[in-house]
């Protein structure tokens, strides 16, 4: 794994091409979502796990219809449903 500095350019459309070695190391594929932020050292990019990509892994626990039915039952019973927002290392960008 290379930990040295890798170079790229910003295109006319303000796009940056990530070096292939970095993409492979971090499993970043074309079309995958990411978010950006600033840190004291510069720009930070964080790949975002797409919930659709997780569906196959999560399906071993329950089907999506089972989860929705359970949530609807809980709400119908008047029980509180806690909504959770996931945070990241970018601090809520």
Quick: pLDDT tens for 29-63: 888 888 899 989 898 888 887 665 555 666 677 77
Quote the pLDDT of residue 55.
Answer: 58
The answer to whether residue 1 scores a pLDDT higher than 50 is: no
The 3-state DSSP class for residue 33 equals coil
Cα separations in angstroms, 59 against 12, 46, 64, 84: 42, 25, 7, 20
The 3-state DSSP class for residue 71 equals helix
| Residue with the larger pLDDT of the pair 54 and 10 | 10
pTM (2 d.p.) = 0.45
Mean pLDDT throughout 10-16? 92
């Amino acid at each position: 794994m290379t930990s040295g500095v890798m170079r790229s350019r910003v295109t006319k459309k303000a796009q940056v091409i990530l070096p292939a070695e970095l993409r492979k190391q971090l499993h970043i594929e074309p079309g995958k979502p990411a978010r950006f932020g600033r840190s004291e050292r510069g720009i930070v990019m964080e790949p975002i796990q797409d919930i659709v990509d997780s569906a196959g892994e999560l399906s071993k626990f329950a089907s999506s219809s089972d989860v929705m039915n359970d949530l609807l039952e809980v709400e119908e019973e008047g029980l509180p449903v806690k909504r959770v927002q996931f945070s990241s290392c970018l601090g809520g960008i």
